[in-house]
Amino acid sequence: MGRKLPYWFVVMTAVVLLAASALLWKRFSATSNGPLFPAELSGIVLPGPRPLQPFTLSDQEDRPFTLAHFQGHWTFLFFGYTHCPDICPMAMGILGEVFNRLQKSSPPDLVGTEVAFVTVDPKHDTPTVLKSYVAYFNPGFKGLTGTEEQINALTRQVGAAYFATSPPQDSVEKGPSSPSSRSEVSGISHTSAFFLIDPLGRLVALFPEYNNTDLIVKEYTKIRQFVRLRNIYAEPEYNR
C-alpha cells in the first residue's frame, strides 16, 4: 500500500497556504469600508467588513445554497474534504467543541450561529457523503459542494486556497493487485482557518488557529457581546 505524505511536506504546504491566505487577507482588508469592531479584536477581524458577492452551491440535501443562506445569522466557514486524514477532522471536531462550550457558558452566543463546511473535493464529496460527514460532528452543521468553478467563486472572495498534492511516485505500489485508496495516492492541501460571516453576509473575521478552542470561544464571545452592547445592525434580531 502507498504511504501517507511525509509530515514535513504537510507542514511546509500548510505554511505556504497560510502565507498565501495572509496576502489575500491583507488585500481584502485594504479595500474594506471602515472599522466595525474594537481594537482589541484586531488580531482576528478585518478593519472593515467585506460584503460577499452572489454564489451558488448545493447543501447536503442537494438543495441550492446561495449568499442569502448566510444572512440572518453568524456562520463559521471552513474549507476541506471528507477524506482529509488530519486537519479537517480536527478542525470540525474543534467547531463541535466550540458549540458545546457556547451551549454551557454562553447560550445567547450559540443562538444564531451556524457552521458551513465547503468541500474542495467535489468530485468525491457528494451531498450524501457530506451529509454523514458533517452530522458526525454536529447534526446542525451544513455541508456544501458544487462544481470547481462554483466553489472557487467563494474561495476567492474570502482568500481561501487549495491545491492537489501527490506523494512521490516510488511511495505508491503499482499494479492491479495492489490497489490503494485515493486518500493514500493523493491529497489536497488547503487553508485551515475558520472564516466568520456576519448576519449581513459579510466576511468580518478570520480565526487562523483552527485547533485553539479556548481562543475561538473567547474571541467569538467578545464579538457577539460587542454587537449586543452597541446594536451595530439596523435589524434588531441581528444584535442578539
**Within a domain: 2:** no
Summary mean pLDDT of the chain:
82
What digits encode the pLDDT tens for the residues 201-236? Answer: 999 999 998 889 999 999 999 999 999 888 889 888
How many structural domains comprise the chain? 1
Q: Is 1 domain-assigned?
A: no
Could you tell me if residue 142 is inside a domain?
A: yes
Roughly how many angstroms between the first and final C-alpha of the chain, as a whole number? Answer: 53
Please write the tens of the pLDDT for every residue from 23-35.
444 443 333 445 5
Tell me the residue range of the domain where 132 lies: 7-239
pLDDT at position 199 over 50? yes
Q: Is residue 119 part of a domain?
A: yes
Give residue-wise pLDDT tens across range 72-98. Answer: 999 999 999 999 999 999 999 999 999
Q: Assign 3-class secondary structure to the chain.
A: CCCCCCHHHHHHHHHHHHHHHHHHHHHHHHCCCCCCCCHHHCCCEEEEEEECCCCEEECCCCCEEEHHHHECCEEEEEEECCCCCCHHHHHHHHHHHHHHHHHHHCHHHHCCEEEEEEECCCCCCCHHHHHHHHHHHCCCCEEEECCHHHHHHHHHHHCCCEEEECCCHHHCCCCCCCCCCHHHHCEEEECCCEEEECCECEEEEEECCCCCHHHHHHHHHHHHHHHHHHCCCCCHHHHC
For the stretch 105-142, pLDDT in tens is 888 888 899 999 999 999 999 999 999 999 999 999 99
pTM: 0.78
Residue 123, C-alpha cell as written in the block = 468530485
| CATH number (domain holding residue 111) | 3.40.30.10
In the predicted structure, residue 10 carries a pLDDT above the cut 60 = no
